[in-house]
Amino acid sequence: MTSAAWLEPTPTAVLVLADGTVIEGFGIGARGEAVAEVCFNTAMTGYEEILTDPSYAGQIVTFTFPHIGNVGVNDEDIETVNMAADTAVRGVVLKDEVTDPSNWRAARHFNDWLAARGIIGITGVDTRALTVLIREKGMPNAVIAHNPDGVFDLPALKAKAAAWSGLVGLDLAKVVTAGQSYGWTEKTWTLDAGYTTQDAPKYKVVAIDFGVKRNILRLLADQGCDVVVLPANATADEVFAHNPDGVFLSNGPGDPAATGEYSVATIKAVIEAGIPTFGICLGHQMMGLAVGGTTMKMHQGHHGANHPVKDFTTGKVEITSMNHGFAVDPASLPDNVEQTHVSLFDSSNCGLRLKDKPAFSVQYHPEASPGPQDSHYLFTRFVNLIREKKGEAKVAERV
């Protein structure tokens, strides 16, 4: 055996931060390089749903849980609706090497899946140390690069990371939104029947797509909604043309202030028309802007499936899934708007309600089921606003 056999393996991937920090590891998934913002996610499960959530556009996800990818992937857990948003996330950072899948639902190896989607990955990283760095210094801009030969132009990668302007001022909803309108009838999965179809809807709901997730649309269908999805730049006239009973504002990526330049006018018109309106994630931030509030960039953001949120309307605490780097400033909200939900981690705003209009929103993802169904009542709350306007009896919220 030669002395070379005792050498450490050559790194085949690097994560280069904007401050010049170089983190070496071993590449998986797609080859090449991508510039993005680095965040950390504390979820222990659901990595496929996370990496197909369009809200992660422009970001590199660092998983704090070490065993990511080991149960493979399948076609049922994908959250992306729009094919253009399939590669929204730019990269993934892992601690441990990905083993062969060991789950009966697995249809593909995680590494092959990443490569097919153009997502660059790096393993062998001290993700706890990286998480501490993000907590102390904020979410850094960075370049993730994968080259099986292990050859990297580090000065060029450092310059690229330092030169990227970041997510502030960046409208990414226009990148991940649907190119045209479409209808949605698929309901949530059940053990006996799988995914079924809503074939007897009672209420017409227009969903404005800023980067919508499949399970949000499924839960609307579960509530008896006939859902039509419109692109992020839909005008008020285009919304009104469907004569909706309610309007839903979806999740999505990027700076809400940038997306708001074209969407706020539509949302204002919808709210002023008295149409019941419900927003989630970026949709919550859009509603905040539409009612006169402001948004702000967060230091480290909220990304995970273990975030406690208190609902002041019920007095209960929900365990929620979150994915956002911007937040509504509660101090900026006018007198006709009340804060309904708050994070018990940092007291940041997680929900609002208009006192004089049938409109409300939440910052977190009630469809993601980390509790597992602590927050599904919000979909009932939305449809109850529709029922109330129609003069129908409300349905009890299950909380």
pLDDT in tens, 108-155: 999 999 999 999 999 999 999 999 999 999 999 999 999 999 999 999
Average pLDDT over the chain, rounded to an integer: 95
Write down the pLDDT at residue 83: 67
| Percentage of the chain exceeding pLDDT 70 | 97
| Active-site residue list | 281, 365, 367
| Percentage of the chain exceeding pLDDT 90 | 91
Average pLDDT of the residues in 154-166:
98
Residue 3 has pLDDT above 60, yes or no: no
Domain ranges of the chain: 12-163, 173-390
Q: How far apart are CA 111 and CA 69, in angstroms?
A: 8
Residue 1 has pLDDT above 50, yes or no: no
Q: How confident is the model at residue 222 (pLDDT cuts 50, 70, 90)?
A: very high
**Tokens 């989607």 identify what position?**
117
- Output the CA–CA distances (angstroms, integers) from residue 387 to 66, 125, 225, in the order listed: 46, 52, 12
- What is the domain class of 173-390 according to CATH? alpha beta
Q: How far apart are CA 241 and CA 228, in angstroms?
A: 11
Q: How far apart are CA 312 and CA 37, in angstroms?
A: 33
Write down the pLDDT at residue 88: 86
Residue 4 has pLDDT above 70, yes or no: no
Q: How confident is the model at residue 311 (pLDDT cuts 50, 70, 90)?
A: very high
Residue among 316, 281, 371 at smallest CA distance from 79: 281
Q: How confident is the model at residue 84 (pLDDT cuts 50, 70, 90)?
A: low
Is residue 324 within 8 Å of 301, Cβ to Cβ?
yes
Q: How far apart are CA 325 and CA 346, in angstroms?
A: 14
Write down the pLDDT at residue 304: 96
> pLDDT per residue over 326-378, tens digit each?
999 999 999 999 999 999 999 999 999 999 999 999 999 999 988 788 899 99
Average pLDDT of the residues in 286-311:
97
Write down the pLDDT at residue 369: 82
- What is the domain class of 12-163 according to CATH? alpha beta
Q: How confident is the model at residue 192 (pLDDT cuts 50, 70, 90)?
A: confident
Burial 250-273 (b: 16+ CB within 10 A, else e): bbbbbbbbbbbeebbebbbbbbee
Q: How far apart are CA 145 and CA 142, in angstroms?
A: 10
Average pLDDT of the residues in 255-284:
98
pTM for the complete prediction? 0.96
Is residue 130 within 8 Å of 142, Cβ to Cβ?
no
Between 169 and 3, whose confidence is greater?
A: 169
Between 277 and 370, whose confidence is greater?
A: 277
Residue 5 has pLDDT above 70, yes or no: no
Sheet with 349-354: strands ordered across: 182-184, 225-231, 203-209, 246-249, 277-280, 359-362, 349-354, 337-343, 295-311, 316-328
Q: How far apart are CA 329 and CA 2, in angstroms?
A: 62
